[in-house]
Amino acid sequence: MLMDILPVSLKKYFQMTKQQRKQEVQSTLWYMPLIYISSSILFVAITLVLDLVIELEQYTFQSFRINAEITRMLVSTLIGGLLTLSAFTLNSLLVVLTTFSGQFSPRMLINFVADRRTQHALGIFNGSFVYVLLVFLFIGNTSYEYFVAVPIITIVLVFIASLTFIYFINHATTWMQVHNITETMKQSSKAMINNTLSEDLEPFRTKQAGDLLQDYEDNTQSIGAGRSGYVQLVDYRSMIEQARKDNVILKFHSQVGDYILETNKLISYWGPGADLVDEELYYGMIKIGHKETELQDIQMGMHKLAEIGIKSLGNDDPKTATNTIHQMAELMLTVEDYITFTPYLTDSDGQVRIILLNETFEYYIYRGFGYIRHYAGDNHLIITEIVGALAMVAESIDSSKHQAIWEFAYNTLDHIEKKVVYQLDKTFLLEQVKRLALATNNLYGYYAIERRFYPEKK
């Protein structure tokens, strides 16, 4: 009944999983200020008790006692000062968000808003303003001649707010620096891989398919999507356990981050217990929403990082694009370290229970560097940086991924215009190609590329 009268903006939080709710709440501007405002109300009560009930002026030195009229003037003056600071902070915040959206990526706004330092700064301003406002309300008509706690705590809070304002301006300008932006995007994606994917998927992965209950595949049934939207979150642990109880195997036809339409096939299942499956139970373990989230979707983090590089190419800023490429290369190492490229998830008995869409290392290379490569076009300097980054990746990861890296680079060079490349561009590009060829044991492929750039050497 209560859910029916709640506005949609609040009702959605009760319909989310705990993981989604935590991320959504921490990504809003009201979350931290609300905590500070609540704390400031409690702080007001403590302050007033000290001055109006305990009468603290009786137990302090004369120099700490402030006349009531001066206290009221002080508090009333500081109300306007704190409001001005809050207005400047809000204006700075809007400037930062506008700059991010126009020059980098609108998908980055949530990262700055969700940053703990941003939220704490806003919380301090709002909490201090509410504190001063409430204190002024309660001391306005009191008959007390002196105050101690009210003026001292008010001055301390304003001093903290002033320092916070300087800190916030420094934080905003520092956060907007390109190397910090790309580092933040990379760390966000790495944290998602380390803390989410490694916990939700890696404990259940196996490279051996084993018994897939193929004798029951003729009786395969499917579950369709109940609404259109993005696949945001899958509760793999609960799904594997339920599939074990039902003795079925589930096969996904979409992955986290995919957009699907209503009634599109989402899951198919088969097994001895297929006829007794409660489809609503499985569907409830999959969250579909109107937007993409980063909870289990590494692609979104890669896209945000790639968009910085793409925007920089459009703004004739090759240094930013280069920095993005380097951060993407480091992210590839994390992908290789923490993700096992197999679609099979097993239960505690070692029986495969979930079959995901097959993902390969080539897929992540394309997602990471493919978009940048496309928008770079015939920008040979950026292509050189991409090949150099791939060479560094190849030198740092397992040799089983070398061929995939080489083929991506080879295909990249196979589709760029060779007749308009400056001599030094050719030299530096081929140096990086040779470095990659040596790392991946593809020297013959390098010689083929060299002959295309220097046909007279045939």
Query: Do 341 and 383 fall into the same domain?
Result: no
pLDDT for the residue 14: 57
Q: Which domain holds residue 246?
A: 205-358
Strand partners of residue 161: none
pTM for this predicted structure: 0.75
Confidence of residue 378 (pLDDT cuts 50, 70, 90): confident
| Last residue within a domain, chosen from 134, 155, 176 | 176
Instruction: Give the Cα separation of 432 and 395 in Å (integer).
Output: 12
Query: Do 336 and 277 fall into the same domain?
Result: yes
pLDDT-above-70 percentage for the chain: 88
pLDDT for the residue 146: 79
Query: Do 228 and 320 fall into the same domain?
Result: yes
Q: Is the pLDDT of residue 436 over 90?
A: yes
CATH number of residue 283's parent domain: 3.90.1170.30
* DSSP assignment string, 272-340: TTGGG--HHHHHTTEEEESS--SSS-HHHHHHHHHHHHHHHHHTT-HHHHHHHHHHHHHHHHHHHHH--
What digits encode the pLDDT tens for the residues 286-307?
A: 988 888 877 777 777 788 888 8
Q: Is residue 189 part of a domain?
A: no
Q: Is residue 279 part of a domain?
A: yes
Strand partners of residue 260: 229
The number of domains in the chain is 3
pLDDT for the residue 61: 73
Q: Is residue 198 part of a domain?
A: no
pLDDT for the residue 215: 87
Q: Is the pLDDT of residue 201 over 60?
A: yes
Q: Identity (one letter) of the amino acid at 14? A: F
Confidence of residue 358 (pLDDT cuts 50, 70, 90): confident
Query: Do 385 and 447 fall into the same domain?
Result: yes
Confidence of residue 242 (pLDDT cuts 50, 70, 90): very high
pLDDT for the residue 11: 57
Confidence of residue 106 (pLDDT cuts 50, 70, 90): low
pLDDT for the residue 24: 67
More confident residue, 284 or 96: 284
pLDDT for the residue 267: 93
- Mean pLDDT value of segment 198-223: 85
Confidence of residue 122 (pLDDT cuts 50, 70, 90): confident
| Last residue within a domain, chosen from 331, 358, 385 | 358
* DSSP assignment string, 247-275: T-EEEESS-TT-EE-TT-EEEEEESTTGG
- Mean pLDDT value of segment 206-232: 89
Q: Is the pLDDT of residue 233 over 70?
A: yes
* DSSP assignment string, 3-47: HHHS-HHHHHHHTS-HHHHHHHHHTSSSHHHHHHHHHHHHHHHHH
pLDDT for the residue 101: 65
Query: Do 85 and 172 fall into the same domain?
Result: yes
pLDDT for the residue 446: 87
Query: Do 223 and 270 fall into the same domain?
Result: yes
Query: Do 27 and 170 fall into the same domain?
Result: yes
pLDDT for the residue 152: 87
Mean of pLDDT over the chain: 83
Q: Is the pLDDT of residue 7 over 60?
A: no
- Mean pLDDT value of segment 153-169: 88
Query: Do 327 and 391 fall into the same domain?
Result: no
pLDDT for the residue 221: 92
What digits encode the pLDDT tens for the residues 260-283?
A: 999 999 999 999 999 889 999 999
Q: Which of these ranges, 33-42, 126-135, 213-222, 285-294, has the smallest mean pLDDT?
A: 285-294
Contacts 24+ apart (CB under 8 A), 307-312: 307/104, 307/105, 307/107, 307/371, 308/104, 308/105, 308/108, 308/178, 308/181, 308/182, 308/185, 309/372, 310/371, 310/372, 310/375, 311/103, 311/104, 311/105, 312/178
Q: Which of these ranges, 16-20, 60-64, 118-122, has the smallest mean pLDDT?
A: 16-20
What digits encode the pLDDT tens for the residues 9-60?
A: 555 555 666 666 666 666 677 788 889 999 999 989 998 888 888 877 777 7
* DSSP assignment string, 362-407: HHHHIIIIIHHHHHHTT-HHHHHHHHHHHHHHHHHS-GGGHHHHHH
Query: Do 354 and 392 fall into the same domain?
Result: no
